[in-house]
């Protein structure tokens, strides 16, 4: 069989990428609830629902009133994205980034394992400290490790440079809900950095990447 | 502030990676239902739940009786993983692979855009045709595009080389549930290739990577 042979079409399915997006987004807008979110955040919520296949995701979604404008302005000014997981970085559609922005993850930095031992924390958390000098004005996206989000908040409360916006959606059963609650409290009580989070256990690298891809530009 | 300063610990959270895994897996085993799955697939289900934060994921999970043994034997024999998305490839923990197995994705192959136009399908689907000569005995993981799963089934029904196992968990609102239903029907009716799928809209690259990481070795 030639590599270039198209297989016999046996199923009836949409094959045009932009038509799939359009119909998906229309379905989501029919089924999901957005009235509790800032108006300019609807497209972010739609894309996050799209990436998870779950319209009830928006029930747990919390988006700060200035999150979209702060993140978009930062990216348009060339700010880097700082993340805790290579999967998040891999999920960022580079063509959507307005300034070919850097997407930084220090998890595989050769210094990270030793630093994690020294700091008595996870590699995901320690890796963020290696990027401390890149935090100022950045968009930080935590999509995997609750410990990384706790660590980020502790760095900021200690006076680390301030990101322009935080997408905090670690996933899981141990510390995830608690770390996201801490993000909401810290942002409300003191630091006032625009943020996005998903309450509870849901989250993950795909969700973080979906949010970043929506924040990167207005166009759906 | 020195890069090596550990921030002031302000929250009470577990910082030891293996302890986090142990407690997470114990929570999942307390809360999720596994009795409808093959006994040797429980660890796969646990890791997929872990990656999504959702214990009810197992309600939609379908795992063929020979999926775990077929995928593990293939990987232990050095078979490649073939996938539709770079995020899936990025999520595979290389240290868990028994033979430093290749993880293949042709989405960014320079031939893919033209081939998609020629085949009148998505790039995700066309990219699989570029890997047709690597399918024999492989573990295929579709974590993103329903069109890629439909395309794979059409290739196989046309006589393409047979993978050892298929992890079919595309996500979304247009074609995802239908493509996974087609996988179940094709596998049952004719091709009988061991498979894993999640019924409905849920799925995604993180879920596919979780399944692969569990299939790669017995150790949790």
Q: Could you report the average pLDDT of every consecutive run of 10 residues in chain A (220 residues)?
A: 76 92 96 97 98 97 97 98 97 97 97 96 97 98 97 95 98 97 85 95 97 95
Contact check, Cβ <8 Å, A15/B125: yes
A198 in helix, strand or coil? strand
pLDDT at B1: 42
Cα of B68 to nearest chain A Cα, Å? 24
pLDDT at B4: 72
The owner of tokens 């660890």 is B43
Q: Which two tokens stand for residue A172?
A: 């899981």
Q: Nearest residue of B to residue A111 by CA position?
A: B4
Q: Distance (Å, rounded) from C-alpha A38 to C-alpha A64?
A: 8
In degrees rounded to 5, what are phi and psi of residue A214?
Answer: -75, -35
Contact check, Cβ <8 Å, B51/A153: no
**CB distance A181 to A198 below 8 Å:** no
To the question of pTM greater than 0.90 for the whole model, the response is yes
Active site residue A36: no
Q: Which two tokens stand for residue A102?
A: 């850097």
Sheet of A139-142: strand order equals: A61-63, A195-198, A165-168, A139-142, A81-83, A103-104
Residues of A in contact with B30 (CB under 8 A): none
Q: Distance (Å, rounded) from C-alpha A154 to C-alpha A9?
A: 55
**Which residues are bridge partners to B197 per DSSP?**
B62, B168
Q: Which two tokens stand for residue A191?
A: 């630091």
pLDDT at B5: 79
Q: Distance (Å, rounded) from C-alpha B29 to C-alpha B22?
A: 11
pLDDT at A3: 53
pLDDT at A202: 97
Closest CB from B14, B115, B122 relative to A4: B115
Q: Distance (Å, rounded) from C-alpha B216 to C-alpha B76?
A: 8
Sheet of B195-198: strand order equals: B61-63, B195-198, B165-168, B139-142, B81-83, B103-104
* B39 contacts: CB under 8 Å, gap ≥ 6: none
Q: Distance (Å, rounded) from C-alpha B24 to C-alpha A181?
A: 19
Q: Distance (Å, rounded) from C-alpha A180 to C-alpha A197?
A: 7
pLDDT at B26: 97
A-interface mutation test, from B2, B9, B15, B114, most A Cβ less than 10 A away: B15
Q: Which two tokens stand for residue B108?
A: 């960014």
pLDDT at B98: 98
Q: Distance (Å, rounded) from C-alpha B113 to C-alpha A31?
A: 33
Residues of B in contact with A153 (CB under 8 A): 10-11
Residues of chain B scoring pLDDT < 50: 1
Closest by CA to A36, choosing from A199, A154, A168, A176, is A199
B-interface mutation test, from A174, A185, A200, most B Cβ less than 10 A away: A174
Q: Nearest residue of A to residue B20 by CA position?
A: A174
**CB distance A41 to A165 below 8 Å:** no
Widest Cα–Cα separation across chain A: 64
């Amino acid at each position: 069989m030639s590599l270039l042979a198209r297989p016999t079409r046996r199923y009836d399915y949409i094959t045009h990428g932009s038509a799939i997006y359009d119909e998906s987004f229309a379905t989501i807008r029919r089924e999901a609830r957005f009235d509790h979110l800032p108006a300019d955040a609807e497209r972010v919520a739609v894309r996050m629902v799209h990436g998870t296949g779950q319209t009830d995701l928006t029930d747990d979604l919390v988006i700060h009133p200035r999150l979209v404008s702060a993140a978009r302005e930062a990216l348009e000014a060339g700010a880097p994205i700082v993340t805790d997981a290579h999967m998040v970085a891999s999920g960022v559609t580079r063509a959507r980034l307005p300034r070919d922005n850097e997407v930084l993850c220090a998890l595989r930095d050769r210094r990270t394992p030793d630093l994690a031992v020294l700091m008595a924390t996870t590699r995901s958390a320690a890796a963020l400290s290696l990027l401390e000098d890149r935090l100022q004005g950045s968009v930080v996206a935590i999509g995997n490790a609750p410990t990384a989000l706790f660590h980020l908040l502790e760095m900021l409360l200690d006076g680390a440079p301030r990101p322009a916006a935080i997408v905090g959606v670690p996933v899981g059963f141990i510390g995830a809900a608690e770390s996201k609650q801490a993000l909401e409290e810290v942002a409300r009580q003191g630091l006032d950095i625009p943020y996005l989070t998903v309450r509870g256990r849901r989250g993950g690298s795909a969700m973080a990447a979906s949010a970043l891809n929506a924040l990167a530009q207005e166009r759906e």
